[in-house]
Chains A and B, each alone.
Chain A
Amino acid sequence: MNENKIKSDFVAVASIAAELSAVMEVAKEISLAAANAKAIAFRAGEKAKGFQPITDFINDLAKETITLVNNINAHALQLYRLTVHEHRMSQACNHFEKVAALAATAAYKDSIELPLAKVRQQKVVSRREFETHVAELLDQLAEVMHPARAARVIAANSRIEASQAGEYLQSLQAVAESVDHAAQIIHVKVHLCRSALTRINTVDCY
């Protein structure tokens, strides 16, 4: 594994963290929209009867997304630590190889062989762990797509229910739009994360 590959991994992991942070913000917005919708539906009474259970769904979806993103964030942090560790092992390998070359005439030149073999081994282990974590993270990101898709369906139902809410039509439609928009953003951001992770697994910089 060369230095360029490790550097591109650093950038990919950092960009995933940034996208996840945006997903979290959007999930919080959905949660707020759910609270708002609940208040409007309560005021609308009978006119928004069909809308009331939808608000609970929206809230549940927001909570589920927040929990999933929190788990993914913890995983992404672990991925970042592994990248740092791999970078350190790679640096150590480069320096120890230089030592071996420079110490060609030294009486104790062979004693660098064991530390060199150790860091080489650790570098390989670190890469394997990294790849395992990337695969797990890809699965978790796929999970986040489910509530986002469900949110879009709920947004469509909300629009239908809103159309029967008389003077509350506009307010409830705004809630439906807001949920739909948020779900789209989550979809795009998660897709970006998955693309970045897929690049980590496929880019060949050897």
Chain B
Amino acid sequence: MKMTKIYDGAYQWIMYGRDPNKPEKIIDTNQYLVRTAKRCLLIDPGGIELFAPMLAAVLHHAPVEEITDIFASHQDPDIISSLGLWDQALPHAKLHAAALWEGFLRHFGCDSIEYVAIPDNGGVINLDTIELQILPAHYLHSSANFNIYDPRAKILFSGDIGAALEPPGCPIFVENFDEHVDKMRYFHQRWMPSNQAKRAWIDRVRGLDIDIIAPQHGRIFKGDDVKRFLDWFDALQVGIAI
């Protein structure tokens, strides 16, 4: 599992992905860890197949008992089907996930972890001294869907927004935006159902100060590519399967 520090200040953001031992037919995913002095937030910790390499990688940065919070952007198996195992490994942790998905997510096994239900209008996660904002991103693609914005690190974790389908081992960051567009187009047109939802999200996100957009699949956008992505997504027609 590749580990990349994408923010290193008073606390850290670490991205995990590009696991060379991942089973061939499951989609590659990016997992993120926000590491403060005494606590950690795991963002979209991944599917059950990835649990062991993912936790083994996290142990390079934090002990199990300091992983206090998990965030699931939505209910898909590549996001959180490992929940039953985290539930056994982290008996005192909190899972921050949509109120709408609670009854569904509990099917993965959630006996010990406290389910903190996120209302439709979002919320915050306090981690030591930092406050992370949970932003609504409904219908992009899931019907109850959230992003995380860190105003201090200026990072937006965007879930499936900005995702790209690429061969294994692709670079961590977008290097040439124009070439990258082909890898994102179908994903966004087919998985995202609503132009109206997309418009609401663009309007909300344009008002934020963002250095990095970190999606759950594919490459990370930084610097000028953040605006390039927002402009490209703004112009894209989605929901093409109808």
Interface size on B, residues (CB 8 A): 20
Chain B nearest Cβ from A133, distance in angstroms? 20
Q: Tell me, yes or no, whether B85 is within 8 Å of chain A by CB.
A: yes
Contact residues of A between 93 and 142, Cβ < 8 Å to B: 95-96, 98-99, 102-103, 105-112, 114-115, 118-119
Flag whether B51 is at the interface (Cβ < 8 A). Answer: yes
- Is A184 in contact with chain B by the CB < 8 A criterion? no
Whether B55 lies near A112 (C-beta < 8 A) is: yes
Interface of B is mostly: helix
The chain B residue sitting closest to A113, CB to CB, is B64
Q: State whether A108 and B62 are in contact (beta carbons under 8 Å apart), knowing that A96-B89, A99-B55 are contacts in the complex.
A: yes
Q: Quote the shortest CB–CB distance from A103 to chain B (angstroms).
A: 4
Q: Could you tell me the distance between the alpha carbons of A197 and B65 in the complex, rounded to whole angstroms? A: 40
A113, chain B: closest CB distance, angstroms: 9
* Chain A contact patch, size range: 20 to 34
With contact pairs A88-B109, A92-B85, A95-B85 given, residues A109 and B52 touching in the complex (Cβ less than 8 Å): no
| Minimum distance in angstroms from B150 CB to a CB of chain A | 23
- A106 close to B109 (CB less than 8 A): no
B-chain residues with CB within 8 Å of residue A106 when the two chains form the complex: 56-57, 59-60
B59 and A115 contact, CB distance less than 8 A: no
Contact between B109 and A111 (Cβ–Cβ < 8 Å)?
A: no
Judge if A73 is at the interface, Cβ distance under 8 Å: no
B60 contacts A102, C-beta separation under 8 Å: no
Q: Is the CB of A95 within 8 A of B51?
A: yes
- The reply to whether A112 and B88 form a contact with Cβ atoms under 8 Å apart is no
Query: How far apart sit A119 and B60, CA to CA, in the bound complex (Å)?
Result: 22
Rounded to whole angstroms, the CA-CA distance of A91 and B109 in the bound complex is: 12
Q: Is B47 an interface residue (CB 8 A)?
A: no
**Which A residues lie within 8 Å of B53 (CB)?**
102
16 interchain pairs, CB-CB under 8 A:
A88-B88, A88-B109, A89-B88, A92-B84, A92-B85, A92-B89, A95-B51, A98-B56, A99-B55, A99-B59, A102-B56, A107-B59, A114-B64, A114-B65, A115-B88, A118-B88
Task: Name the 5 nearest CB pairs between A and B, nearest first.
Answer: A102-B56, A111-B63, A98-B52, A106-B59, A103-B56
Interface residues of A (CB under 8 A from B): 88-89, 91-92, 95-96, 98-99, 102-103, 105-112, 114-115, 118-119
